[in-house]
Amino acid sequence: MADLRVMIVDDEPLARAGLRQLLAELPGVEVAGECGGGAEAVTAIERERPDVVLLDIAMPEVDGFDVLEALDPADRPAVVFVTAYAEHAVRAFEVNAVDYVLKPADPERLRAALGRARERLAPDGGGREALAARIDELVATLRSREGYASRLLVRHQDRLVPLPVEAIDWSEAADNYVRLHAGGQRHLLRETMKHLEQRLDPARFARIHRSTRRLISRRFCSSMRGSTGFSGVVLTAWPLAGL
């Protein structure tokens, strides 16, 4: 009887087939499903609730890090990254003690990674929360190397779609979420305003006041500097009624 349900997420059919074959040879492992893209993976993970996800990183439109950021950390399964990333990224995995398998997957390394995942998922393993924290640190580290975000992943009609940052008019904090306003539509993003502000280019977005919990596109702002040295931004147009 299988005690470990594993989902495969990779945009390459041959890579998925290879992983599926390796998993079939491991005792106690059941393939809970497979996905060829990040957007469908988020839906499938939330529906099937696998124990472990073998997650490719470099996928078009919605990559592996997007998938993790879209999932509720409290319900996130254990993750083993499947990657062809360069050496500097692999070092980041090792520093953060996050499991990874290099393509093409080595059977023994995959077996060992799933064994560690099984230990963390055990009732007395105590590793799920620690693993989630390490993965969040890893994602933040590698995201910072990519520079400022060019798009954000949002839900639209029960689907995950990329939203270009230039389409955002303004955003506001909503507890541990951020509400994005873009072209008359609203999107709820699962991250804090502090984290979002770090991801967005300050040349594109600004706080209109230091204490405000809103970021405004600089399309609606202009810089101001007073004779006493005061500097700030002022609104030159209203991006939306009710702001």
Kindly report the CATH number assigned to the domain that includes residue 102: 3.40.50.2300
Domains in the chain: how many in total?
Answer: 2
Phi, psi dihedral angles at 143 (to 5 degrees)? -65, -40
| Same domain (yes/no): 170, 216 | yes
Kindly report the CATH number assigned to the domain that includes residue 199: 2.40.50.1020
Q: Show the beta-strand stretches assigned E in the chain.
A: 4-9, 29-35, 52-56, 78-83, 100-102, 151-156, 159-164, 170-174, 177-182, 185-189, 205-206, 214-217, 221-225, 231-235
Query: Which of the listed ranges 6-15, 149-158, 162-171 does the model predict with the highest average pLDDT?
Result: 6-15
Query: Which of the listed ranges 26-35, 154-163, 192-201, 213-222 does the model predict with the highest average pLDDT?
Result: 26-35
Lowest mean pLDDT among 27-31, 132-136, 221-225: 221-225
| Same domain (yes/no): 124, 163 | no
Q: Which SS3 state, helix, strand or coil, does residue 115 take?
A: helix
High-pLDDT (> 70) share of the chain, %: 77
In the structure, what pLDDT confidence band is assigned to residue 233 with cuts at 50, 70 and 90?
A: low
Which two tokens mark 102? 């290099």
End position of a domain, from candidates 145, 165, 180: 145
End position of a domain, from candidates 107, 123, 145: 145
In the structure, what pLDDT confidence band is assigned to residue 98 with cuts at 50, 70 and 90?
A: confident
Q: Whole domain around residue 210: which residue ranges?
A: 151-235
pLDDT of residue 144: 67
Per DSSP, 166 falls in state G
In the structure, what pLDDT confidence band is assigned to residue 112 with cuts at 50, 70 and 90?
A: very high
Lowest mean pLDDT among 97-101, 112-116, 182-186, 225-229: 225-229
Tell which wins on pLDDT, 98 or 50. Answer: 50
| Same domain (yes/no): 189, 213 | yes
Tell which wins on pLDDT, 20 or 236. Answer: 20
In the structure, what pLDDT confidence band is assigned to residue 134 with cuts at 50, 70 and 90?
A: confident
Question: Mean pLDDT over residues 154-165, rounded?
Answer: 81
| Same domain (yes/no): 51, 141 | yes
On the question of a cis peptide bond just before residue 50, with omega within 30 degrees of 0, the verdict is no
Instruction: Confirm whether 23 is domain-assigned.
Output: yes
| Same domain (yes/no): 19, 77 | yes
| Same domain (yes/no): 189, 112 | no
| Same domain (yes/no): 65, 138 | yes
| Same domain (yes/no): 136, 170 | no
| Same domain (yes/no): 112, 203 | no
State the Cα angle at 174 between 161 and 149, rounded to 5°: 40
What's the rounded Cα separation, in Å, for the pair 73 and 65?
13
With contact defined as beta carbons under 8 Å apart, do 42 and 65 qualify? no
When the pLDDT of each residue in the chain is averaged and rounded to a whole number, the result is 81
Lowest mean pLDDT among 14-18, 170-174, 190-194, 210-214: 210-214
Residue 49 predicted with pLDDT over 70: yes
| pTM for this predicted structure | 0.72
pLDDT of residue 29: 95
* CB neighbour class for 66 (10 Å; exposed up to 12, middle 13-18, buried from 19): buried
Tell which wins on pLDDT, 226 or 90. Answer: 90
